[in-house]
């Protein structure tokens, strides 16, 4: 029988992955004693349009580069390997089916928590994973508490806050910096910056 593990799941489009993503993953791992955290680029989420297979290849490559020196934070192509619209509940359902002994921790930002009650099969998300929420400056504690209370009352969710530095970095801002020729140094790992430059990513992308 496989050994039970505590596994964090941090999904995102990762266009590109940046220091904030990595800090969130490491904070979750350290704070909750997780055995590992999987950084999982979205396949085809219902709420965002992913460019194409070439874009997905680049996103995955950057996650691999960003985690290459980590023994606890790993890249995962689990969603990229599947076809059709990818829902969070189904990802967690499949992971739990493959490794029922594991406890999964779904990591997300407080902005995503606000909308979570509208996600497909949110009851299953709450059933299959413990939810870890990284608060951000634009959302006050009262808002986060209200959303948490709603999910706990209606879906018996187990929710914990991540106590982490408030670093305001967004992939959207990084892409805009690249388009305008501004520096992205220290916003992304140096290997990711080199990859972005060598592949001329997001230099002419229109949002």
Domain chopping of the chain, boundaries: 6-198
Superfamily, domain 6-198: HUPs (3.40.50.620)
pLDDT in tens, 176-204: 999 999 999 999 999 999 999 999 999 98
How much is the pTM? 0.92
47 pLDDT exceeds 80? no
Q: What pLDDT, in 10s, does the model give residues 135-158?
A: 765 566 788 889 999 999 999 999
pLDDT of 57 above 70: yes
pLDDT digits (tens, 9 = 90+) for 79-111: 999 888 889 999 999 999 999 999 999 999 988
Q: What are phi and psi of 111, to 5 degrees?
A: -65, -35
- pLDDT: is 147 or 53 the higher one? 147
pLDDT confidence band for 206 (50 / 70 / 90)? low
3-state SS of the chain?
Answer: CCCCCEEEEEEECCCCCCHHHHHHHHHHHHHHCCCEEEEEECCCCCCCCCCCHHHHHHHHHHHHHHCCCCCCEEECCCCCCCCCCCCHHHHHHHHHHHCCCCEEEEEEEHHHHHHHHHCCCHHHHHHHEEEEEECCCCCCHHHHHHHHHHHHHHHCCCEEEECCCCCCCCHHHHHHHHHCCCCCECCECHHHHHHHHHCCCCCCCCC
- Asked if pLDDT for residue 49 goes beyond 60, the answer is no
> Residue 36 and residue 29: Cα distance in Å, rounded?
7
- How much of the chain exceeds pLDDT 70, in percent? 92
């Amino acid at each position: 029988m496989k050994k039970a593990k505590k596994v964090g799941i941090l999904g995102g489009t990762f266009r590109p992955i940046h220091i904030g993503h990595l800090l969130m993953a490491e904070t979750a791992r350290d704070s909750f004693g997780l055995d590992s955290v999987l950084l999982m680029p979205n396949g085809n989420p219902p709420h965002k349009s992913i460019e194409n297979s070439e874009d997905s290849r680049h996103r995955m490559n950057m996650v691999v580069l960003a985690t290459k020196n980590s023994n606890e934070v790993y890249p995962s192509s689990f969603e990229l390997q599947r076809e059709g619209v990818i829902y969070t509940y189904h990802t967690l359902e499949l992971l739990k089916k493959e490794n029922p002994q594991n406890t999964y921790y779904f990591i997300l930002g407080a902005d995503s928590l606000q909308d979570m009650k509208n996600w497909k099969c949110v009851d299953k998300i709450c059933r299959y994973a413990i939810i870890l929420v990284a608060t951000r400056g634009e959302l006050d504690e009262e808002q986060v508490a209200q959303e948490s209370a709603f999910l706990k009352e209606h879906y018996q969710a187990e929710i914990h806050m991540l106590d982490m530095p408030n670093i305001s970095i967004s992939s959207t801002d990084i892409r805009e910096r690249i388009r305008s020729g501004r520096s992205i140094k220290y916003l992304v790992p140096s290997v990711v910056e080199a990859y972005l430059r060598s592949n001329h990513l997001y230099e002419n992308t229109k949002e």
